[in-house]
């Protein structure tokens, strides 16, 4: 059997290959035949480049059906896909390309100059361009290739993708996901969320992270269901397409913004069967208000780049209720345990570290065996860095309610991580950029509550003696150096940082002081 993830999708293509697979916001229709031919052409192009086995294909492009086809073609040809957030700037791209050493890099025409310079410097021979309007050298080169391709044979533990996740202590780590990791999770979610061939997925998420690329797209591909494809979250487009959709996925900010839109009503959701939230905690107040307004109960689930999806509230009422504030039960085949700092299991209701095991758990960090070892226990459990509990109670506006013993609630993180609008920001990385800036003695980066993004990034800096630090100038400089979602919304200049007796910066004190 071919364990290539693309072979699994192919086996589920609908009988009517002329049916619509993707409808775009600008009125284009792509059939399953179109997907098949486009991915065959792109796979033939990749193979014609005579790349070594296991080559990485690094891609930083705007969302388009062709960008999805490039991902699928990379799987189909047996290479390893490496998606990159379009917000990443030169220093970030330089690190990813230097670390992953991709054989192929694909970027936008606008960025071709600087991206290709970086790529060639790191030894990449093949750099193509691809724009959201189908312009660029990638499709030009693929157009003359045959539109048939036999999907390459892969084993379940062969690599399919590398997803970079920032590190708490230093540089980003590439989480290596295999065909088996992705297939097993896609099949599990297909069952768990009741995917159907007549579903219509409203796809408004970016496709360079797990949520939009794997969880959402794989769900529709495996069901042979249609996607309505929009470049990003846009309320006018959402109001236009939601009445024709049955499934939507979003980070909590999506639901916060839908609630702010007076035109969004239960009538807008008349055909919907499922709204899913994840990537960051969904506030109970958003969960309740959404139910009130739309008549739908959001299904919250929990996952990571290293593991894809781990835990989910039930889809089927017969299996239990969706409980706001919790992330539900471990998915079939996934084991989850909550342990104390000594690694001993916590009793129900007690808070501890969340550790996981399962066929979805990644193969390790790219070229970082030490880091990989650190993140697994001796008995093979992956330490998520999240803190949670089974059972216990959730306290909401309407009082306290008991949570079933097998439901997990994520209550915080042991890793110093900020999640802003569903994007992860590691304070350490931003602090290192700030500390290098002229006049900055030291800095501390914290997350503070934010009505739209859930958490916002804030920096507190101390100047060198005699230095005059200007907030706007510091922010302006950072915007050219790091992805815009990582740039602090405010930078406070203070004479000194609060420290405990061990000399450690007290971020909780800063959060109290600047979080209001
Ligand atoms: C944009 N901005 C942000 C963010 N997004 N600031 C902080 N956090 C953000 N997430 C800033 C920009 O820098 C810009 O600032 C201004 O907001 C407007 O930018 P724009 O692009 O127009 O914003 P937007 O389109 O309104 O985007 C907000 C968004 C987007 C829709 C919430 O961030 C988004 O799509 N997030 C989804 C992320 C996601 O897919 N995460 C899944 C990761 P300025 O004007 O100053 O330049 S996968 C994962 O976590 C795991 C596995 C899981 O469980 O799913
Ligand atoms: P990433 O590695 O970028 O994919 O981010 C994964 C992290 O997002 C997890 O370790 C959690 O901290 C967080 N996360 C994902 N889903 C949820 C959720 N439903 N509730 C709380 N945190 C979540």
Q: Is residue 71 part of a domain?
A: yes
Asked if the structure places residue 444 within a domain, the reply is yes
What is the domain range of residue 48?
1-7+32-154
* Ligand 2 pocket: which of 215, 301, 382, 386 to mutate (most atoms within 8 A of CB): 386
Q: What is the pLDDT of residue 170?
A: 61
Q: Within its chain, how far is the Cα of 403 from the centroid?
A: 28
What is the average pLDDT score of the chain?
Answer: 96
Q: Is the CB of 304 under 6 A from ligand 1?
A: yes
77/453 Cα distance (integer angstroms): 38
Angle at 285 between CA 279 and CA 291, to 5 degrees: 90
pLDDT in tens, 291-326: 999 999 999 999 999 999 999 999 999 999 999 999
pLDDT of residue 398: 76
Buried-exposed string 54-79: b where 16+ CB fall within 10 A, e elsewhere: ebbbbbbbbbbbbbbbbbbbbbbbbb
263 within some domain: no
Q: Which of 127, 154, 181 is where one domain is finished?
A: 154
- Residue 84 reports pLDDT greater than 80: yes
Query: What's the pLDDT at 397?
Result: 76
pTM (predicted TM-score):
0.97
Q: Which of 206, 208, 209, 278 to mutate to test the pocket of ligand 2 (most atoms within 8 A of CB)?
A: 278
Residue 134 has pLDDT above 80, yes or no: yes
pLDDT at position 215: 98
116, 105 Cβ separation under 8 angstroms: yes
Ligand 2 centre to CA of 234 (Å) is 23
The pLDDT of residue 205: 98
Please give the structure tokens belonging to residue 301: 């689930």
pLDDT at 169 over 70: no
pLDDT at 396 over 90: no
Quote the CA–CA distance of 510 and 516 in Å, as a whole number: 11
| Ligand 1, atom 46: closest residue by C-alpha | 484
Please identify, among 108, 137, 154, the residue that sits at the C-terminal boundary of a domain: 154
d(C-alpha 516, C-alpha 507), whole Å: 14
Residue 148 predicted with pLDDT over 80? yes
Alpha helices, DSSP H only, in 261-367?
Answer: 284-294
For ligand 1, whether the C-beta of 303 sits within 6 Å is yes
Select from 163, 253, 449 the residue to mutate for testing ligand 1; criterion: most ligand atoms less than 8 Å from CB.
253
pLDDT tens profile 435-453: 999 999 999 999 999 999 9
Ligand 1 atom index nearest CA of 307: 52
Cβ 410 vs Cβ 385: under 8 Å: no
Residue 406 included in any domain: no
pLDDT of res. 460: 97
- Answer yes or no: is 251 within a domain: no
Question: For 312, phi and psi rounded to 5 degrees?
Answer: -150, 145
Cα(493) to centroid(ligand 1), Å: 26
Q: Is the pLDDT of residue 167 over 70?
A: no
Confidence of residue 415 (pLDDT cuts 50, 70, 90): confident
pLDDT for position 516: 73
Which CATH number fits the domain that encloses residue 111? 3.40.50.980
CA of 401 to the centre of ligand 1 (A): 33
Question: Which ligand has its closest atom nearest to the C-alpha of 312?
Answer: 2
Q: With 80 as the cut, is the pLDDT of residue 239 above it? A: yes
Q: State the maximum Cα–Cα separation within the chain, in Å, rounded to a whole number.
A: 73
Alpha helices in 129-207 (DSSP H): 137-143, 179-192
170-174, 416-420, 467-471: the lowest-pLDDT one: 170-174
Q: Any idea how long the chain is?
A: 516
The answer to whether position 144 is within a domain reads yes
Q: Is 69 in the pocket of ligand 1 (CB under 6 A)?
A: no
4, two tokens: 């290539």
Q: How far apart are CA 351 and CA 410, in angstroms?
A: 9
Is residue 276 scored above 70 in pLDDT?
yes
Domain boundary among 109, 136, 154: 154
432: domain CATH number? 3.30.300.30
Nearest CA to ligand 2 atom 21: 281
pLDDT in tens, 186-206: 999 999 999 999 999 999 999
From CA 130, how far away is CA 13, in angstroms rounded? 26
- 355 pLDDT band (50/70/90 cuts)? very high
> Is 464 a member of any domain?
yes
Which strands form 335-339's sheet, in the order they lie side by side?
335-339, 352-357, 382-390, 408-413
Residue 309 CA to ligand 2 centre (angstroms): 10
Residue that wins the pLDDT comparison between 169 and 122: 122
Give the number of domains in the chain.
2
| Spatial contact of 201 and 227, defined as CB atoms under 8 Å apart | yes
Establish if 323 belongs to a structural domain: no
pLDDT (mean) for 130-153 = 98
Best of 421, 430, 478 to mutate for ligand 1, by most ligand atoms within 8 A of CB? Answer: 421
Residue 166's pLDDT is what?
75
pLDDT digits (tens, 9 = 90+) for 206-225: 999 999 999 999 999 999 99
């Amino acid at each position: 059997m071919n364990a290539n993830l693309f072979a699994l999708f192919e086996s589920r293509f609908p009988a009517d290959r002329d049916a619509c697979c993707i409808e775009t916001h600008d009125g284009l229709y792509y059939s399953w035949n179109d997907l098949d031919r486009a991915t065959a052409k792109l796979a033939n192009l990749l193979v014609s480049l005579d790349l070594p086995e296991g080559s990485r294909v690094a891609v930083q492009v705007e969302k388009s059906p062709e960008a999805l086809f490039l991902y699928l073609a990379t799987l189909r040809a047996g290479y390893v896909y490496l998606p990159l957030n379009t917000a990443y700037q030169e220093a970030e791209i330089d690190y990813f390309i230097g670390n992953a050493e991709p054989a192929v890099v694909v970027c936008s025409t606008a960025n071709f100059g600087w991206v290709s310079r970086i790529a060639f410097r790191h030894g990449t021979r093949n750099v193509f361009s691809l724009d959201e309007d189908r312009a660029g050298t990638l499709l030009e080169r693929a157009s003359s290739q045959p539109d048939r391709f036999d999907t390459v044979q892969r084993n379940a533990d062969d690599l399919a993708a590398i997803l970079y996740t920032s590190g708490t202590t230093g540089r980003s780590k590439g989480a290596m996901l295999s065909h088996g990791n992705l297939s097993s999770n896609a099949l599990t979610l297909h069952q768990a969320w009741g995917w159907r061939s007549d579903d219509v997925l409203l796809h408004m998420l970016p496709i360079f992270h797990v949520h939009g690329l794997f969880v959402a797209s794989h769900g529709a591909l495996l069901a042979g269901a249609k996607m309505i494809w929009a470049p990003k979250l846009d309320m006018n487009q959402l109001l236009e397409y939601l009445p024709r959709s049955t499934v939507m996925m979003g980070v909590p900010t999506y639901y916060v913004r839908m609630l702010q839109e007076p035109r969004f009503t239960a009538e807008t959701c008349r055909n919907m069967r499922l709204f899913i939230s994840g990537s960051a905690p969904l506030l109970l107040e958003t969960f309740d208000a959404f139910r009130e307004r739309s008549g739908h109960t959001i299904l919250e689930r929990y996952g990571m780049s290293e593991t894809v999806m781990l835990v989910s509230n039930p889809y089927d009422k017969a299996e239990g209720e969706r409980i706001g504030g919790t992330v539900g039960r471990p998915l079939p085949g996934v084991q989850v345990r909550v342990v104390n700092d000594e690694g001993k299991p916590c009793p129900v209701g007690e808070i501890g570290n969340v550790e996981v095991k399962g066929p979805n758990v990644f193969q390790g960090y790219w070229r970082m065996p030490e880091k990989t070892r650190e993140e697994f226990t001796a008995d093979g459990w992956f330490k998520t860095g999240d803190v949670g509990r089974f059972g216990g109670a959730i306290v909401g506006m309407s009082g306290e309610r008991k949570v079933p013993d097998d439901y997990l609630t994520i209550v915080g993180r042991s890793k110093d991580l900020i999640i802003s609008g569903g994007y992860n920001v590691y304070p350490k990385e931003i602090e290192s950029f700030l500390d290098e800036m002229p006049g900055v003695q030291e800095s501390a980066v914290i997350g503070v509550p934010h009505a739209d993004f859930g958490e916002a990034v804030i920096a507190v800096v101390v100047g060198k003696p005699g230095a005059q630090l200007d907030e706007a100038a510091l922010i302006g400089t950072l915007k050219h150096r790091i992805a815009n979602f990582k740039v602090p919304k405010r930078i406070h200049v203070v004479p000194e940082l609060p420290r405990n007796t061990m000399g450690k910066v007290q971020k909780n004190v800063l959060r109290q002081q600047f979080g209001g």
